[in-house]
């Protein structure tokens, strides 16, 4: 058996567009490391800057003290003092040198313009040497005094931008080291984070592929932490999911009773076979098998017994297919075994590929039918299945699974009437079905337009030729006055369920016409056929009584004809319908007597009034040496049971003479008249009532012939 098809994978959920967890963790770690590097750099920079500022402080303090010592020696000589001030102003990093007297008045200065911190430093130097910081500029004021007497102060402004540059030069190495550290730490952190979250990524991908995972593919995570626990939980969940999926697929694609693929699986497989078919390759075939007797067997069994019998039938079919595959398909049977599916309750489909030639398809189907039709024993009962096969060629007799299946069933329907039980689809079958469908549609319209009428065929007394009654037969008269043959529309009406409506139309018209004749004093018994569909209706008896009342027809003027097959289909139901009508005077006849195996049982179980000899016995009087004996036997049995007898199909005078001499009272057939419209039949009755000659006159005795 072919593998159960996997379901079509669903649309995978799109990955979120945001940054992944590992990237976010890496960026976060890199940001922390960068921040730490910046903090270290700021700290180092602050230290270097403080160190540079300290150098400027010390330089300004020393220079101011030195110039103050020189100035103390030159206080008495203004030129020397000026020279000392000028020389100090030209020292390295010195921006300005100024000399103030004890009152704070500027005596002399050299260098740049004074800055505000100079006055502040001067005020602070009254007690001791002062130092004022202004960024990378320091102002130091050193008092000029001797023997406790203060003569003034020397104020020196020192600016040392090179110290700041030196600080940055020192920082350059630190910055490069920090940058290298941050880069290396970031790379290591990214690698670590990715490694740490790799199991999570693995779990995510596994979950995304869960709808397409095949059995046996477990998630392998060996971290020893929560990730491994989660992975094991995932594996257990997937095992349960796989088991549930297999069960669901089995329910969706496998027939529970026979364990064969079901109709859904069959449709997928057949469409695949059509897609792969090639006109130049070896032909393939679809064969639908129906077991005609299986349905009746199943209707008499309980659920458990029915399932058991179906399973046995499926097993026999599988065995037959394997055997015939080896006989007909040879090597192809190994590489492409025949696909078997259960389509309906007693219908199975076979898809077989690569036949050597088309003739092998018919032989293949016949061998399978013969194999499964062999009698077998089940629960001490000997059974046979009566298998019938309809076959089509894949790729030639249909473009899709529905068309192929339809055509195979058309062939199967035709196979039921063939001796071999096997039929190939042909275009003629398709045309026939189309015609039947058109005829069915036309019948529905005809029922709406009241185109179905009752024609009356006379039943005569064989002794004197007088009309004693008539059988109402359905005729379809189209608006253009053409008449559709009953042999054409009756089978279609029975198949599509319209036979009840047709019979209803004939019943009503027959009763109304018979009532009209009775009111003219031309009372005759009118026989109307009852369909199986009507007999299944529990309200049929009440319906007939209502028609009789509406038409005003005496019940004894109506005769209802039942075939033995209809009567014995459900004898209890038939008896429930017959008894109330018969009690009111309606007569019942058994039609086509002698054609089936249930005739004697029907006569003994059901209260009939009339027995009609089937026309095949009457027509066989001249060519079948057993026909006279059969008729004599039926007449003797009817006389014993006190039944009236009507012989059907009387077409020759010799047949009428034979029947009359054997005691048959009534005859019906073309010898006495064909079915004719009510108006024509009414004229016959009126002519007979006027005393005209009988319908026919006997001339030749079949005994003499």
Give the full edge-to-edge strand order of the sheet including 285-291.
339-344, 347-352, 285-291, 387-393, 422-424
- Domain co-membership, 363 together with 411: yes
* pLDDT tier, 508 (very low <50, low <70, confident <90, very high otherwise): very high
In this structure, the strands spanning 130-134 and 106-111 are: unpaired
Give the residue from 139, 167, 195 where a domain finishes: 167
Question: Is 360 within the bounds of a domain?
Answer: yes
Give the residue from 393, 425, 457 where a domain finishes: 425
Q: How far apart are CA 547 and CA 463, in angstroms?
A: 33
* pLDDT tier, 81 (very low <50, low <70, confident <90, very high otherwise): confident
- 128-187, pLDDT tens digit by residue? 777 777 766 888 787 887 777 777 888 888 876 655 555 566 666 667 777 777 777 777
- Domain co-membership, 628 together with 489: yes
Mean pLDDT of the chain: 80
Question: Is 93 within the bounds of a domain?
Answer: yes
From the list 512, 514, 526, the residue with the least C-alpha distance to 558 is 526
Q: What is the pLDDT of residue 376?
A: 85
- 583-631, pLDDT tens digit by residue? 999 999 988 776 655 456 666 778 889 999 888 888 888 888 888 888 8
Is 647 in contact with 666 (CB distance < 8 Å)?
Answer: yes
Q: Is the dihedral of CA 485, 490, 496, 498 positive or negative?
A: positive
- 42-67, pLDDT tens digit by residue? 777 666 667 767 777 777 778 877 88
Q: How far apart are CA 279 and CA 329, in angstroms?
A: 18
- Domain co-membership, 518 together with 575: yes
Q: How far apart are CA 347 and CA 409, in angstroms?
A: 10
CB-neighbour burial class of residue 148 (10 A; exposed 0-12, middle 13-18, buried 19+):
exposed
Is 41 in contact with 175 (CB distance < 8 Å)?
Answer: yes
Query: Phi and psi at residue 384, in whole multiples of 5°?
Result: -135, 150
- Provide the CATH number for the domain around residue 79: 3.30.450.20
Question: Is 186 within the bounds of a domain?
Answer: no
Strand partners, 155: 98, 141
- Domain co-membership, 535 together with 672: yes
Question: Is 3 within the bounds of a domain?
Answer: no
Q: Is the dihedral of CA 61, 63, 66, 67 positive or negative?
A: negative
- Provide the CATH number for the domain around residue 359: 3.30.70.270
Q: Report the chain's terminal Cα–Cα distance, integer Å.
A: 68
Q: Give the pLDDT mean for 73-78.
A: 74
pTM: 0.57
Query: Phi and psi at residue 198, in whole multiples of 5°?
Result: -55, -45
- Provide the CATH number for the domain around residue 586: 3.20.20.450
- Domain co-membership, 131 together with 50: yes
Contacts of 44 (CB under 8 A, 6+ apart): 171, 174
509 vs 62 pLDDT, higher one: 509
In this structure, the strands spanning 285-291 and 339-344 are: unpaired
Q: What is the pLDDT of residue 700?
A: 39
- 625-649, pLDDT tens digit by residue? 888 888 898 899 888 888 999 999 9
Question: Is 196 within the bounds of a domain?
Answer: no
- Domain co-membership, 238 together with 321: no
Question: Is 107 within the bounds of a domain?
Answer: yes
- Domain co-membership, 413 together with 488: no
Is 630 in contact with 608 (CB distance < 8 Å)?
Answer: no
- Domain co-membership, 220 together with 132: no
Q: pLDDT > 70: what percent of the chain?
A: 82
Query: Phi and psi at residue 383, in whole multiples of 5°?
Result: -120, 155
**In 585-599, which positions are buried (b, 16+ CB within 10 angstroms) versus exposed (e)?**
ebbbbbbbbbeeeeb
- Domain co-membership, 218 together with 286: no
- Domain co-membership, 369 together with 485: no
Domains: count for the chain: 4
- 265-290, pLDDT tens digit by residue? 889 988 888 888 777 677 788 999 99
Strand partners, 389: 289, 422
Q: Would you state the structure tokens that stand for residue 393, as one six-digit string?
A: 């060629």
* pLDDT tier, 703 (very low <50, low <70, confident <90, very high otherwise): very low
12 vs 484 pLDDT, higher one: 484
* pLDDT tier, 337 (very low <50, low <70, confident <90, very high otherwise): confident
Is 306 in contact with 362 (CB distance < 8 Å)?
Answer: no
CA angle 269, 273, 276 (to 5 degrees): 140
Question: Is 195 within the bounds of a domain?
Answer: no
Q: How far apart are CA 244 and CA 253, in angstroms?
A: 14
> Residue 190: pLDDT above 80?
no
- Domain co-membership, 242 together with 346: no
The DSSP symbol for 555 reads G
Q: What is the pLDDT of residue 555?
A: 94
Q: What stretches of 482-552 adopt beta strand conformation (E)? A: 483-484, 525-529
Question: Is 352 within the bounds of a domain?
Answer: yes
522 vs 234 pLDDT, higher one: 522
327 vs 209 pLDDT, higher one: 327
- Domain co-membership, 458 together with 607: yes
Is 542 in contact with 489 (CB distance < 8 Å)?
Answer: no
Q: Give the pLDDT mean for 472-493.
A: 90
The range of the structural domain enclosing residue 44 comes to: 23-167
């Amino acid at each position: 058996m072919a593998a159960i098809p996997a379901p079509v994978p669903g649309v995978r959920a799109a990955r979120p567009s945001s940054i992944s967890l590992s990237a976010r963790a890496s960026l976060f770690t890199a940001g922390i490391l960068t921040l730490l590097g910046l903090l270290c750099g700021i700290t180092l920079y602050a230290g270097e800057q403080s160190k540079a500022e300290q150098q400027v402080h010390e330089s300004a303090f020393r220079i101011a003290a030195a110039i103050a010592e020189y100035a103390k020696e030159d206080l008495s000589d203004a030129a020397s003092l000026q020279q000392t001030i000028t020389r100090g102003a030209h020292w390295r990093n010195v921006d300005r040198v100024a000399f103030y007297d004890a009152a704070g008045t500027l005596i002399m200065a050299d260098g740049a313009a004074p800055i505000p911190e100079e006055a502040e430093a001067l005020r602070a130097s009254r007690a001791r040497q002062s130092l004022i910081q202004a960024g990378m500029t320091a102002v130091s004021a050193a008092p000029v005094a001797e023997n406790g007497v203060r003569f003034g102060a020397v104020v020196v402004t020192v600016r040392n931008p090179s110290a700041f540059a030196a600080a940055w030069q020192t920082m350059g190495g630190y910055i490069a080291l920090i940058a290298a550290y941050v880069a290396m730490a970031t790379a290591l952190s990214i690698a670590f984070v990715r490694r740490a979250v790799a199991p999570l990524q693995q779990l995510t991908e596994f979950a995304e592929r869960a709808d397409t995972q095949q059995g046996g593919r477990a998630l392998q995570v060996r971290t020893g932490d929560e990730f491994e626990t989660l992975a094991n939980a995932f594996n257990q969940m997937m095992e349960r999911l796989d088991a549930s999926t297999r069960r669901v697929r089995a329910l969706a694609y496998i027939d529970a009773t026979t364990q064969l693929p079901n109709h859904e699986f069959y449709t997928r497989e057949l469409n695949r076979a059509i897609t792969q078919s090639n006109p130049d390759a070896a032909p393939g075939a679809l064969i639908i098998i129906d077991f005609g007797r299986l349905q009746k067997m199943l209707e008499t069994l309980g659920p458990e017994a029915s399932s058991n019998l179906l399973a046995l039938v499926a097993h026999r079919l599988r065995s037959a297919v394997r055997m015939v595959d080896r006989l007909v398909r040879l090597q192809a049977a190994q590489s492409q075994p025949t696909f078997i599916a259960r389509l309906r309750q007693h219908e199975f489909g076979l898809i077989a590929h690569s036949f050597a030639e088309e003739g092998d398809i018919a032989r293949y189907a016949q061998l399978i039918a013969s194999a499964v039709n062999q009698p077998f024993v089940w629960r001490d009962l000997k059974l046979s299945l009566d298998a019938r096969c309809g076959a089509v060629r894949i790729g030639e007799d249909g473009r899709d699974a529905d068309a192929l299946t339809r055509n195979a069933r058309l062939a199967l329907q035709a196979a039921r009437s063939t001796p071999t039980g096997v039929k190939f689809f042909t275009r003629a079958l398709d045309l026939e079905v189309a015609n039947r469908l058109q005829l069915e549609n036309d019948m529905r319209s005809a029922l709406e337009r009241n185109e179905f009428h009752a024609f009356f065929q006379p039943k005569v007394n064989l002794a004197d030729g007088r009309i004693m009654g008539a059988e109402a037969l359905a005729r379809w008269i189209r608006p253009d006055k053409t008449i559709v043959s009953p042999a054409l529309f009756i089978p279609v009406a029975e198949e599509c369920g319209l036979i009840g409506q047709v019979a209803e139309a004939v019943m009503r018209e027959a009763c109304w016409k018979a009532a009209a004749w009775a009111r003219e004093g031309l009372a005759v018994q009118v026989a109307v056929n009852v369909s199986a569909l009507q007999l299944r209706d529990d309200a049929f008896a009440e319906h007939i009584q209502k028609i009789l009342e509406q038409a005003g027809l005496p019940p004894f003027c109506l005769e209802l004809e039942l075939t033995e097959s209809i009567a014995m289909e459900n004898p209890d139901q038939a008896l429930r319908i017959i008894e109330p009508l018969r009690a009111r005077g309606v007569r019942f006849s058994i039609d086509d007597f002698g054609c089936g195996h249930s005739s004697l049982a029907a006569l003994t179980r059901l209260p009939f009034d009339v027995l009609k000899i089937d026309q095949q016995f009457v027509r066989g009087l001249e060519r079948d040496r057993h026909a006279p004996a059969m008729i004599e036997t039926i007449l003797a049995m009817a006389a014993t049971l006190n039944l009236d007898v009507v012989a059907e199909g009387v077409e020759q005078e010799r047949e009428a003479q034979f029947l009359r001499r054997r005691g048959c009272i009534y005859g019906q057939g073309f010898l006495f008249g064909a079915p004719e419209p009510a108006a024509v039949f009414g004229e016959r009755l009126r002519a007979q009532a006027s005393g005209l000659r009988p319908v026919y006159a006997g001339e030749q005795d079949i005994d003499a012939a």
